[in-house]
Amino acid sequence: MRNFLTAIIATFSFLAFINVANSADHKFVPALVFDMGGKFDKSFNQAAYEGAEKFKKDTGVNYKEFEVTAPTQREQAIRNMAKRGSNVVIAMGFAQAAAVEKAAKEFPNTKFAIIDMVVDLPNVRSVVFREHEGSFLVGMAAALASKTGKVGFIGGMDIPLIRNFGAGYVEGAKYVNPNIEVFQNMTGTTPAAWNNPGKGAELAKSQFGRGADVVYAAAGGTGVGVYQAAVDEGKLAIGVDSNQNYLHPGTMLTSMLKRVDVAVYNAMKDAKDGNWSSGIISLGVAENGVGWAVDQYNRKLISSEMEAKINQARKDIISGKIKVKGYQSN
């Protein structure tokens, strides 16, 4: 009898092992590697987090994550995610390109996605944004709201990507008022520029002191200081990447939406559903990849006339009537 029970227990244990092994074989595990600036930077990284959280909520599938705090961690983090069996590894930001390229070659059967840079490999999806188009729209908003004829732009790290935000902003402002003056400053030349609210506040107050009454920040966590300076000085600010209107209602004129959340969500969902595609995906106004935000937090700051003009410009960008050049074209 004892031998019979032992045999039954062994059989069930074996079947259980097989079921667990099979489920493990079919388990989908996405991974997200944030870049410097912090997961809750209220901007670029946080938009990625929100996209991953939506995927988790919609599918019930959890994801692995890692917050890079030093440049040397990028390659190790991405490799570790692939090595530990993640089906798709998503890397946030242009600075992770070299690490993604190296890992994608080492793990050719793993899917990789990079946001804001192109890595030309068969197992990599590269998602880039035409941020100059969205910046054109908020540049229009700044010029329409300005009473001084002077507005400002504060970028994070001084790189072509951020210069592209600034170029589109200037084009949009001058589309409304050809004589408008636009001040521009960059926070720094290292990754620390993404998370320096004190420096952001200092630069913003300098621009306000020169007459600017609206300032647009494309600077990650540094933007938090810009927005607080606008509150302190009684001026207007424009957010970026995520909808930041809620941070300071009455001060945040609008936000330039860069749908990083959608890019992350789609990368995870496509990989899970078998709809994955590698190559370059470019998202602009026409694809709803960039835009501007109007909601209950800034509704009182956006007149119906302003909204109509900006929305018409949006349509004209889509139709090709308005061509936003951006920094790379200059």
Cα–Cα nearest to 249, from 188, 303, 295: 295
**What is the domain range of residue 87?**
26-129+261-283
Q: Looking at the structure, do residues 71 and 165 belong to the same domain, yes or no?
A: no
181 or 8, greater pLDDT: 181
Query: How confident is residue 22, by pLDDT bands cut at 50, 70 and 90?
Result: very low
Cα–Cα nearest to 263, from 285, 283, 248, 278: 283
Mean pLDDT of the chain: 92
Collapsing DSSP to helix, strand or coil, 90 comes out as strand
Cα–Cα nearest to 241, from 125, 92, 65, 98: 92
The mean pLDDT value for 230-250 works out to: 97
In a domain, 19, yes or no: no
The mean pLDDT value for 58-72 works out to: 96
What is the per-residue DSSP string for 233-280?
Answer: HT-EEEEEES--GGGSTTTEEEEEEE-HHHHHHHHHHHHHHT----EE
Query: How confident is residue 24, by pLDDT bands cut at 50, 70 and 90?
Result: very low
Q: Looking at the structure, do residues 196 and 82 belong to the same domain, yes or no?
A: no
Q: Looking at the structure, do residues 178 and 307 belong to the same domain, yes or no?
A: yes
- pLDDT number for residue 330: 53
- pLDDT number for residue 106: 98
Identify the sign of the CA torsion 24, 25, 27, 28. positive
Q: How far is CA 152 from CA 33, 136, 206, 305, in A?
A: 32, 13, 10, 22
Q: Looking at the structure, do residues 83 and 148 belong to the same domain, yes or no?
A: no
- pLDDT number for residue 75: 97
Q: Percent of the chain beyond pLDDT 70?
A: 92
The mean pLDDT value for 200-217 works out to: 98
Q: Looking at the structure, do residues 91 and 164 belong to the same domain, yes or no?
A: no
Question: 125-158: per-residue pLDDT in tens?
Answer: 999 999 999 999 999 999 999 999 999 999 999 9
Q: Looking at the structure, do residues 125 and 207 belong to the same domain, yes or no?
A: no
Looking at the structure of the chain, the number of domains it has is: 2
Has residue 291 got a pLDDT over 50?
yes
Report the CATH number at residue 181. 3.40.50.2300
Has residue 11 got a pLDDT over 90?
no
Number of CB atoms found within 10 A of residue 225's CB = 24
Cα–Cα nearest to 50, from 308, 288, 258: 258
Question: Contact, 223 vs 157, CB < 8 A?
Answer: no
Distance between CA atoms of 123 and 60, rounded to whole angstroms?
25
Question: 185-200: per-residue pLDDT in tens?
Answer: 999 999 899 999 999 9
Terminal C-alpha separation, the chain: 86
DSSP single-letter state for residue 273: H
Has residue 4 got a pLDDT over 50?
no
Q: Looking at the structure, do residues 165 and 303 belong to the same domain, yes or no?
A: yes
Has residue 17 got a pLDDT over 70?
no
Number of CB atoms found within 10 A of residue 286's CB = 15
Has residue 91 got a pLDDT over 70?
yes
Distance between CA atoms of 108 and 82, rounded to whole angstroms?
10
Query: How confident is residue 19, by pLDDT bands cut at 50, 70 and 90?
Result: very low
Distance between CA atoms of 178 and 83, rounded to whole angstroms?
54
Q: Which two structure tokens, joined as six digits, stand for 129?
A: 């944004």
Distance between CA atoms of 132 and 175, rounded to whole angstroms?
14
